[in-house]
Amino acid sequence: MISLERYPREIRLRDGAQLTFRPMIREDADRLWDFFCRIPAEDKMVFREDVSRKEVVERWAENLDYASVLPILALEGDQVVADATLHRNRTGWKQRVGTIRIQIAPDFRERGLGTAMIREMRHLGEKAALRYLRAEAIEEQEAAIGAFEKMGFDRMGVYPNFVNDQKGRLHNLVVLLYPMPYSEVEMNF
């Protein structure tokens, strides 16, 4: 289990806005629902689940399991302005690979919050002794892909017509990897 002692954690964006990072708790369901209501419909078209259904967000809140999925919220006061998740397998051949997903409220984009969230996920990946962090985006999400690449993620592949959005349209999937720092002792795991 990753130590969560560093939370809540205060951060300052480059424009001076002060935010709090902390793990999601069960009582955050309504806050997270409000956040997803502010996300543009075109962004939600490529989400893995239909967050326009409140029961999806409520299910996430009811079934929190930080060892499998660790959701970190960025809050301005009581309002969620970003959500980042670290997904991990506890056993099996991909137990040293974490998948991260990040969503930023439109009015907080291009202010440094995405970079801060990626850094936070890298920190958590290191604490979880992961070897790689993986991020996925559809090819049209150029800003997100650029942010990951700026933070050291390498584009490992593009899968043509691999995913569909919620209207059934096909999109190319871009897979990015970030190799975590490790020691020789970890190599013998």
Tell me whether residue 68 is in a domain. Answer: yes
Structurally, the chain folds into a number of domains equal to 1
CATH number, domain with residue 19: 3.40.630.30
Q: Do the domain assignments include residue 1?
A: no
Please state the pTM of the whole predicted model.
0.91
**Domain coverage including residue 83:** 9-187
Q: How far apart are CA 156 and CA 178, in angstroms?
A: 10
CA 55/CA 8 separation, integer angstroms:
27
Confidence (pLDDT) at 86: 97
Residue 3 lies in a domain: no
Mean pLDDT for the stretch of residues 57-65:
96
Q: Please report whether residue 49 resides in a domain.
A: yes
Q: With bands split at pLDDT 50, 70 and 90, how would you rate the model's confidence at 185?
A: very low
CA distance 58 to 97: 27
Predicted confidence at residue 165, as pLDDT, reads 86
Q: Evaluate whether residue 2 is within a structural domain.
A: no
80 lies in a domain?
yes
Residue among 65, 63, 41 at smallest CA distance from 51: 41
**Residue 139: inside a domain, yes or no?**
yes
99, part of any domain: yes
**Ranges 44-48, 52-56, 159-163, 178-182: which has the least confidence:** 44-48
pLDDT digits (tens, 9 = 90+) for 79-101: 999 999 999 998 888 889 999 99
